[in-house]
Structure 1
């Protein structure tokens, strides 16, 4: 378990992280979200001891990172995929790390194969694409077969196949009981990967909850119903009016009449239709995406905002 308690970090007059408290549990993928400048990278750096907190604590299994026995083997971290010597080969970059951890050279070959870099293991990492650099960073994080995995934007620069591979890897590691903490700005991907979310904005905690509850708490439900006949549709409309459920008429993609009910779940509409003896042909509940919920929850916590003004052309 990773436990962050009252974590605060000042850089002069700037409060990058402001009294943040959350827990990252084993066995699930916990996503770490927030706008640019929110304090995500600073928080991750304090967890692994690269930055010293102004106050508060960040503990891994009850201890600071530096107090762990051979911490690089227990905690795999990818905070900056570019932080490798550009003139070293991929294998050489990993080999010295393995030696420092007391691992055999064969482990280097194992992780290179795991991330799909075996064929370029002898090539200089400075010539790698962004996606290849990310794979090398993930290989470095996985060297010690760690119990804890802390990754900052691991899918940045990866192609769709690579993104899908990272998603599968993270979910597999979590299913093995490991603690997985990952940040990303790709919200559609995070919706498919994470079980829980920690969201911060302007250094403050915005949310610490499940993905489902985060979306539910920051969005409204819309239910669309289509009846089996015009008479049934009229019956449903009457039942909705009688129950005080506001609704609007519309049509689906095939031009068939529908009723749209805002703020009411499909379970509630279905139960009402059943009690009114109305036969339904379709009942669909629509919720906002994680992106919609995220934008709603962080709209007052965004530090950098672009304007919508036009650009003057000479």
Structure 2
């Protein structure tokens, strides 16, 4: 289990983490989400003792990370996949870590096989692609067979097959009873991988809940209705005090869009009013929509989505400039 209690980190005039408290339980994958600059990396560094909190405390299984006798066998961390000597081979990088922590060297071959790097075990890490570097970082995190894992952007640089593999790996580790905390900006991937979420913005806790509850509580769902007598059904909705907007589907056919009502409720109304529907579908909100709605006021850096202004036309040369 991972616990953060009142974690605060002040850098001169900047409060990177502000009185942050949450718990990560074993048995499920917990996604750690937040916009750039939200304080995710700083929080993870405090959890493993790389940064000292200004206030508050962090505990792994009830103990400060620095008080764990052999941390690598209890906590596996991937915070920076580039933290590898470029002239060491993948095998050599893992072997010195194993030997320094009393781990059998045979474990190196096991984790290299697990992450798919057996064929390049003798290759220097400096020649690895970004995705291969991520796999090596995961191998290092798994080397001590820990019960707690903290992974910062573990799928960064991986191809679709690699992303799917990491997803399955994290879920398998969680099913084994391990505690898995993973940060990522790939919200669609987190929606498929995580069961619980810890969401922060500007260093403060925004949500600590399940993925399903987060989507349900912080977004809207829409019921799409099409019918031959659409105007009559619109009148029935109005009579029942149910708001709607008019829209069109991808083929240009008119439809009604009803928010925050279930398809069962709308279908029952259509049946009671004798209107035959040609479409009754429910569009579920995504994790991305819920995330943007909740963190809109916590985004540190905003891009300009407007089209760039055209470049000014070149000035005509005067006779004496030719």
TM over 0.5: yes
Residues 1:243 and 2:240 aligned together: yes
Map 1:37-76 → 2, pairs under 5 A: 37-76=37-76
Map 1:1-314 → 2, pairs under 5 A: 1-227=1-227, 230-231=228-229, 233=230, 236-254=233-251, 256-308=253-305, 310=308, 313=311
Q: Partner of 2:318 in structure 1?
A: none
Give a deviation string over 1:162-203, Cα, whole Å, max 9, x none.
111111111111112211100011111111111111111111
The 1:278–1:6 alpha-carbon spacing in structure 2 relative to 1, beyond 3 Å, is same
Ranges in structure 2 where 5+ consecutive residues have no aligned partner: 313-322
Distance 2:10 2:22 in 1: 19
Give a deviation string over 1:89-112, Cα, whole Å, max 9, x none.
000100111122322111100110
Structure 1 window deviating more from structure 2 (139-148 vs 297-306): it is 297-306
SS of residue paired to 1:151: strand
Distance 1:37 1:250 in 2: 38
CA shift for structure 1 position 311? 6.2
Distance 2:52 2:248 in 1: 58
Over 6 Å off, 4+ runs: none
Asked whether the equivalents of residues 76 and 148 of structure 1 are also in contact (C-alpha less than 8 Å), the reply is: yes
TM-score between the two structures when normalised by the length of structure 2: 0.90
Distance 1:244 1:12 in 2: 54
Distance 1:255 1:307 in 2: 31
Asked whether the equivalents of residues 219 and 287 of structure 1 are also in contact (C-alpha less than 8 Å), the reply is: no
CA shift for structure 1 position 249? 4.0
Structure 1 window deviating more from structure 2 (234-243 vs 15-24): it is 234-243
Structure 1 window deviating more from structure 2 (136-145 vs 293-302): it is 293-302
Which protein has the larger Cα radius of gyration, Structure 1 or Structure 2? Answer: 2
Distance 2:59 2:181 in 1: 14
Q: Partner of 2:319 in structure 1?
A: none
Distance 1:157 1:128 in 2: 11
Asked whether the equivalents of residues 235 and 276 of structure 1 are also in contact (C-alpha less than 8 Å), the reply is: no
The 1:255–1:173 alpha-carbon spacing in structure 2 relative to 1, beyond 3 Å, is same
SS of residue paired to 2:133: helix
Ranges in structure 1 where 5+ consecutive residues have no aligned partner: none
Distance 1:312 1:219 in 2: 37
Q: CA RMSD in A?
A: 1.9
CA shift for structure 1 position 129? 0.6
